[in-house]
Amino acid sequence: MPLPPPIPLPENAGLAFLGEERWKAAQLTARDARAFSESTNPTGRPNADALRRFLGFAAGRINQHTHVDFALHFTEQEAALYLKPFAKLHSSQKNPGKTWWLNPHAQPALRTALARLERYLATPLAAKNPAWDWIDSQVLPDASLLAVARDDDFTHGLLQSRFFDRWWRKYSPRLSPLDIVTAFPFPWPPATLLSSLSRAQEEQRHAIARTARSGEQDQLNAAVATAYGWPGDLADEEIIACLIELNRERSGRFESGAGVDTPARPIS
User: Average pLDDT of the chain?
Assistant: 91
pTM value surpassing 0.85: yes
Looking only at the bridges linking them, the beta strands covering 133-136 and 61-68 are: unpaired
pLDDT at 40 over 90: no
Side-chain half-sphere of 18: how many Cα atoms within 13 Å?
13
Q: For residue 57, is pLDDT > 70?
A: yes
Q: Considering all CA atoms of the chain, what is the largest pairwise distance in Å, rounded to the nearest integer?
A: 71
Cα end-to-end distance, the chain, whole Å: 28
Sign, CA dihedral 26-32-38-44, equals negative
Give the pLDDT of residue 1.
61
What confidence tens digit (pLDDT) does each residue in 126-173 have? 888 899 999 999 999 999 999 999 999 999 999 999 999 999 999 998
